[in-house]
Amino acid sequence: MGGSPGKKLKRKGFTLVELLIVGVILAILAGIALPRLMGSDVGAIKNSMEADARNAVTAENALYYAKRSYESANVSGGDEGASKVLDSNYPDIKVVASPHNSIDIQATDKDGDGKNECFTVKVTNSKVNGYYEYDSCSDNPTVHYVESTSSP
C-alpha cells in the first residue's frame, strides 16, 4: 500500500524559502511604488485646479467680448462639480468648477466708467497647500500656482 522505495514523491506547493523570497520581492516593490502613488492624487488635484483657472479665464474673456465687461462670481465644486452662468443674458458662458475646487472671480472697474475692465481668478482646493491665480491687469497675465505657507 505504501509507495515503492525507488520512486520520488511529487512536490505539491512551494517551500517556505520560496514563499519568503516572493514576499521580500513584493515588499521591495511596494516600498518603491507606494510613495509615488500616494503623491499622485495631489498632482491630479493641481491639474484640475489649473484647468478650472484657465477655463474661468476663457469664460471671462468670452463674456468681455460679448458685453465689454467682466463679471464677479464664486463657484464651489462640491462633491460632484458645479457650474455658474456669469450673466443671464449669455447663458452659454459658464464657469465650471471641478469636484472639491472653489473658484473666486473678482471683476474690477479700474477707470470708474461702470464697466469692469480687469478681473482676477483664484482657484483653491482644501487638499492642496496652495492655489492657482490669474490677474488680467498684471504686466504678465498668466495662470500660475502660488504655494501657501500654512498647511491645508
Quote the distance between the C-alpha of residue 141 and its chain's center. 21
By DSSP bridging, strand 118-125 and strand 130-135 are antiparallel
pLDDT at 40: 66
Phi, psi at 37, each rounded to 5°:
-70, -35
**Average pLDDT, 10 consecutive residues per value, the chain (152 residues):** 62 84 88 72 88 93 90 90 88 90 92 89 92 92 86 49
Task: Give the model's pLDDT for residue 5.
Answer: 63
pLDDT for position 9 = 67
Contacts of 52 (CB under 8 A, 6+ apart): 77, 96, 97, 98, 101, 103, 123, 132
Give the predicted TM-score (pTM) of the model: 0.71
Residues 6+ apart with CB under 8 A from 127: 41, 42, 45, 100, 152
